[in-house]
Amino acid sequence: MGVIAVGPLFIISGPSGSGKSTIVARLLAMQDLRLRQSISATTRPPREAERHGQHYFFVSEDEFRSMIERNEFLEWAEVHGQRYGTIRRVVDEWRSQGWGVVLVIDVQGAQRVRQICPDAVTIFVRTSSPTILEQRLRNRGSESESAIQRRLVNAQGELARASEFDYQVLNDDLDRAVAEIRSIILAQITEDAKHA
């Protein structure tokens, strides 16, 4: 029986302000990696520059509940007081087409996906000091003061679980962090090719 080739699954987590979205945007632009980012559903209202179906599928609490009932999520979690969920169909379809799929999700989601998909490669992005996180959150200018405070408190909880991940990548320097994750991804692609 032949082995069915599926694209690799990467999970990228890290506190708000760790720069994980910026890193992932750079990686997606590298054609040779053949990566796609899974678009999650969320009950969080869109930020000004965010588009439905591009950054997230923005749904109501009721819609989110129905999606849970219909078993549409690979995982879902409550993060910073809102619900976020990975849509199973999107991930399965792309992986079966040979795309590598990146999930940018929180530590709870990472734990659940690791249980369901033990082949997932998990990466935690961090900064060397909490001050950098705070600066980045403030520079972003998209969150209220109370939302910033909540995200900083949650960052402590996320950092405490960093050791559960396969890799921890320091993002004090963006180019270095991107290069490091790129080599993790390339190593996985090479490894999968050996077994295909």
List binders of ligand 5GP among 40-69 (CB under 6 A): 40, 44
Stretch that binds ligand 5GP, among 27-35, 82-90, 128-136, 169-177 (CB under 6 A): 82-90
Q: Which residue is nearest to ligand 5GP (CB)?
A: 109
| From 85, 111, 133, 159, residue interacting with ligand 5GP (rule: CB under 6 A) | 85
Query: Minimal distance in Å, beta carbon 77 to ligand 5GP?
Result: 4
Closest Cα partner for 112 from 148, 81, 79, 151?
A: 79
Q: Which stretch binds ligand 5GP (CB under 6 A): 64-72, 73-81, 125-133, 176-184?
A: 73-81
Instruction: Number of residues interacting with ligand 5GP: please give it, by CB under 6 A.
Output: 15
Question: Which region among 28-36, 83-91, 92-100, 179-187 touches ligand 5GP (by CB under 6 A)?
Answer: 83-91
Interatomic CA distance for residues 109 and 76, integer angstroms: 6
Residue of 27, 79, 123, 185 interacting with ligand 5GP (CB under 6 A): 79
Q: What is the 3-state secondary structure (H, E, C) of the chain?
A: CCCCCCCCEEEEECCCCCCHHHHHHHHHCCHHHCEEECCCEECCCCCCCCCECCCEEECCHHHHHHHHHCCCEEEEEEECCEEEEEEHHHHHHHHHCCCEEEEECCHHHHHHHHHHCCCCEEEEEECCCHHHHHHHHHHHCCCCHHHHHHHHHHHHHHHCCHHHCCEEEECCCHHHHHHHHHHHHHHHHHHHHHHC
For ligand 5GP, what does the binding mask look like between residues 95 and 134, x meaning CB under 6 A? ---------xxx-xx-------------------------
- By CB under 6 A, tell whether 171 contacts ligand 5GP: no
For residues 5-44, which are near ligand 5GP according to CB under 6 A? 16, 40, 44
Query: 41-42 and 82-87: which strand pairing?
Result: antiparallel
- Give me the least distance between CB of 108 and ligand 5GP, in Å please: 6
| Interface contacts to ligand 5GP, rule CB under 6 A | 16, 40, 44, 75, 77, 79-80, 84-86, 104-106, 108-109
